[in-house]
Structure 1
């Protein structure tokens, strides 16, 4: 496992995933380089969320290979905690602890899982709250925050583990239109700082603006992929063009 930064930080080779008899991923391959921002788009039920859940071993796979920094993710001997420290994930639902303040939510994993020093963890958590533009909300409980603010706390919580890769699974899907922008701005900031980001998203304008590469999936396969300019303005596949015609 001698991974070097000139190799893909995340690599998927011919990945197959089924739930019972239903095959959700039918041979997905992609390479993501360090610092790259990749957006995965496609109709509902095309396997996008399953795909990124396989990257941090929340879902197992039936065939193929997924590696992060050269480490095979679906190796039986893999330390999943070590993997999830490297690969942060933010979900559509914020899953914050309602009885903990925003700051306590951000501090929990480094304290409980990584057993880090409380003073250092708090200092970093406060810096992360500032980073996601929530300075002054440290002592607010989730119920006192808007959906967009809760989602930014969830992003800060994921960043508290110091990941090398961030996965975002339709993180704006449950938000009102006014709060979507503040979450997207936060992700854009991370991307501009060089964080490797893999996003499943319906926000096409955002994908065009921040992505280095777009993948369009349908019925468990990658139909087409390319840099945003080529992908949006000169899609080659009829299925891609049909999808873009509906969403743009």
Structure 2
């Protein structure tokens, strides 16, 4: 399916009846969800409920057994898919920052656009500086990852993903490995992105943040979406006993 057929009145990301197994273990058991351009979606749920697998399937880091995932009309699991075309559309930030330790913050951000997109270095450098400013790390251009706190490294990782100018950003538990005081600075960065209209899909256990920033919350348990809704309804009027139990443990 050509991406040119996609228009912003259709979901920018759509999952339809997605099944994913690792060997005999079925991790996603028929998951469907859709995300409109500019929406912020939070996926929450207990450990092992398939959340991380779900977003890794969206940018083809994991394959799927059946179902359909489209990003701007591109069928993600089409064997003929140009993975580069997908990576240009979808940025991803992981729990571990995965920065190159021997490269500065600025160099880390510049690498992919120069190597993958073949963009001129001067142009990329300018964008990388602007992105560091955007994630509130102006003045850290020449710092190496080892000289930065976990929260600062994670913000460099966010800037690095943004350097590819994606249309959708995926965040997989990006605050899980951080100290409580650095969690906030990363969440503020994501909040800024959301306010700028970036489409964001987050796996998170930060409920206060989900309540404040998400347009829609999906609760997963044992590979299915149990319940979903806008934050107001979701947190106040959860219907399913599994959702209620989960919320009672964390709120």
SS in 2 for 1:143: helix
Q: Deviations over 1:30-76 (max 9, x none)?
A: 01000000000000000000000000000000000000001100000
Shift of 1:82: 1.1
Question: How far, CA to CA, are the matches of 1:139 and 1:171 in structure 2?
Answer: 23
Q: Work out which of the residue numbers 216, 220, 234 in structure 2 matches 1:217.
A: 220
**Structure 2: which 5+ residue stretches go unaligned?**
none
Instruction: Find the counterpart in structure 1 of residue 247 from structure 2.
Output: 244
Q: How does 1:87-166 map to 2 (within 5 A)?
A: 87-166=90-169
Q: Work out which of the residue numbers 52, 57, 64 in structure 2 matches 1:54.
A: 57
4+ runs deviating over 6 angstroms: none
Size of the aligned set, in residue pairs, is 248
Shift of 1:77: 0.4
**Structure 1: which 5+ residue stretches go unaligned?**
none
Question: How far, CA to CA, are the matches of 2:101 and 2:153 in structure 1?
Answer: 10
Q: TM-score, normalised by structure 1?
A: 1.00
Structure 1 residue 76 corresponds to structure 2 residue 79 = yes
Instruction: Find the counterpart in structure 2 of residue 232 from structure 1.
Output: 235
SS in 2 for 1:198: strand
SS in 2 for 1:182: helix
Question: How far, CA to CA, are the matches of 1:116 and 1:69 in structure 2?
Answer: 23
Q: Work out which of the residue numbers 177, 188, 193 in structure 2 matches 1:190.
A: 193
RMSD: 0.3
SS in 1 for 2:191: helix
Shift of 1:232: 0.2
Q: TM-score, normalised by structure 2?
A: 0.98
Shift of 1:219: 0.1
Structure 1 residue 200 corresponds to structure 2 residue 203 = yes
Instruction: Find the counterpart in structure 2 of residue 43 from structure 1.
Output: 46
